Amino acid sequence: MMKNILFLLAAFILLISCGEDHLDIEPRGTTLESNFYKTQDDYFSGLVAIYDVLQWGGTGGWNMQLGLLNAASDDCHAGGSDASDQPSWVAWDQFTLDPELGPQSGFWNKGYAGIYRANLLLEKLAESENLDVSFVARSEAEAKFLRAYFYFDLVRHFGRIPLITQSLGADIIYDQTQNDPSEIYNQIEADLRDAIATIELPFTVPAEEIGRVTQGAARSLLGKVIIFQGDDNRMAEAAAILDEVIGSGIYALEDEYGAIFAPDNEWGSESIFEINHSGNQQGDYGQFNNGTEGNYNVQFFGMRDYVGPIYADGWSFCPVSLELVEFMQGDPRYEHTIIDGVQLQEAGASYTAGFQNTDYFIRKYSSRQEDRATSGEPALNWAYNEKVIRLADVLLLAAEAHQRSGNDVEARRNLNRVRTRVSLQPVTNAAGAALLDVIYRERRLELATEGHRFYDLVRTDRAVDALGDRGFIAGKHEHLPIPQSEIDITEGSITQNPGY
């Protein structure tokens, strides 16, 4: 609930000790916040606390956005042991959502927790004295990027949401109302533009700072945000922003597609922004509710009770749809995207068929035996980073933006960089609407099971065609229901989304 998040976060500050890929969280007493921000290290801990929210997967249950977005799309099904395993996953997969059933509470709580922490740090930085001015400028830029990131997730999930840009006191917490999505997008853009205009926000970071926001991440997200608003009159603007990232010389497509998701290639040449995960905390179920730093998606995607080479056992969520299997047949990226369970069984491996089993599984975040944690609860300590923005995604967004602004030549150039990396023939003749269809097709092939597909379908008005047989209803399922608890707490100041 928003009330719970705001009061809990107002009651304590999270002290963080930060390494390259490690966050230790230690809650302290209620009197600490007003006395905490004394040294530059204190402010940096406040910044790390915002990044910490990116890792959360246990808010209100198993609410990992990557897995849930896969389940909501036609790339995957919900899966699990049976239909009652994770009802919120099944509800989004089959579009049987209601105000109390679905992943909405976890998404809402996580998003506003990150926003609260960003707002608090920005206020403290504005009041600070005797801090290095470069440190303040960079910290403000990173906090604004992260606030924009959380708001972008929330506005896509819910549409009309409260716009909160300050830490709230108890006297106004119940007065929150929803803003039109256009107002949310305006704030997102303002935050990202402020970050980009900050010269202290670097284009590259040293190894000890891997995971921090860069100019490339801010520009990539801004270009994507503009495209997602759907205004063809702004597509040239989005293309120009994305072209800056592509032409920066900082990023390069991996020579081998399979290297992108190799566990030993985190923050590789293609990566623009990742969510860091770590198994260093050796967490267990006593720390489950966001207390570990592992990537829970990895455990969810693995084959249930698996016995065989290469992979570790998992929980059989997000089985790959037969439609995606057929769609990717003959594409060079297939073998790096999908695990063929039948082939494994024929070679002597075994696993238990879960709910909605297709015998095909996600490979990009597959659980490998050699990476299984040896201390703590292995299921909660997968250290694989989540790839949020990579160059191929930016190239395809730029291709779309160029095409929608009338520049088919540049659209094909960006599209073909993605295709030729996997030795596919370049597209030479497609133009206009036909070229746009080719770009959308390429996005699905290139980014399959990476969590992009559902909102790509929604924003391009193709969700009914792709998901109608699963129960998707136009005018309703583009957004999740507002959590009923939020409506109850505000006594109706916050209202429900249409259709729920």
User: What is the token pair recorded at 17?
Assistant: 């000790």
> What pLDDT is recorded for position 34?
65
Lowest mean pLDDT of 171-185, 232-246, 453-467, name the range.
171-185
What structural domains and CATH numbers belong to the chain? 1-201+461-500 (1.25.40.890), 285-293+311-384 (no CATH)
Cα(72)–Cα(118) distance, integer angstroms: 29
Cα(452)–Cα(92) distance, integer angstroms: 15
Arithmetic mean of pLDDT, 471-482: 98
Side chain identity, residue 345: Q
Backbone angles phi, psi at 480, to 5 degrees: -75, 160
> What pLDDT is recorded for position 288?
76
The contacts of residue 457 (CB under 8 Å, 6+ apart) are: 73, 74, 463, 466, 467
Cα(380)–Cα(212) distance, integer angstroms: 23
Q: Which of 428, 441, 429 is nearest to 400 (CA)?
A: 441
Q: How many angstroms from the chain centroid is the CA of residue 280? A: 22
> What pLDDT is recorded for position 354?
98
The contacts of residue 201 (CB under 8 Å, 6+ apart) are: 137, 138, 141, 142, 195, 213, 214, 215, 218
**Has residue 168 got a pLDDT over 90?**
no
Arithmetic mean of pLDDT, 231-242: 98
> What would the DSSP string read from start to end of 147-214?
HHHHHHHHHHHHSSB----SPPPTTTGGG---B-HHHHHHHHHHHHHHHHT-TTS-SS--GGGTTS--
Arithmetic mean of pLDDT, 330-344: 98
| Confidence tier at 109 by pLDDT (50, 70, 90) | very high
For residue 274, what is the DSSP state?
E
Task: Identify which has the larger pLDDT, 289 or 461.
Answer: 461
| Confidence tier at 320 by pLDDT (50, 70, 90) | very high
**Has residue 476 got a pLDDT over 90?**
yes
**Has residue 179 got a pLDDT over 50?**
yes
> What pLDDT is recorded for position 32?
56
Cα(74)–Cα(76) distance, integer angstroms: 6
Give the residues across from 179 on adjacent strands: 161
Cα(113)–Cα(458) distance, integer angstroms: 26
Q: What is the average pLDDT value for the chain, to the nearest integer? A: 92
**Has residue 3 got a pLDDT over 70?**
no
How many CA atoms does the CB half-sphere of 341 hold within 13 Å? Answer: 26
Backbone angles phi, psi at 368, to 5 degrees: -105, 140
pLDDT tens-digit map of 220-229: 999 999 999 9
Calculate the alpha carbon distances from 165 to 46, 52, 54, 98, 115 in Å: 17, 19, 19, 29, 8
Question: Quick check: 41 and 3 in contact, CB under 8 A?
Answer: no
> What pLDDT is recorded for position 9?
35
Question: Quick check: 276 and 53 in contact, CB under 8 A?
Answer: no
User: Which residue reads 């080479």 in tokens?
Assistant: 309
Lowest mean pLDDT of 43-57, 70-84, 283-297, name the range.
283-297
pLDDT tens-digit map of 285-299: 887 778 789 999 999
**Has residue 101 got a pLDDT over 50?**
yes
> What pLDDT is recorded for position 137?
98
- The SS3 assignment for 218 reads helix
Arithmetic mean of pLDDT, 201-206: 98
Question: Quick check: 87 and 68 in contact, CB under 8 A?
Answer: no
Calculate the alpha carbon distances from 111 to 104, 148, 158, 346, 476 in Å: 10, 10, 11, 44, 21
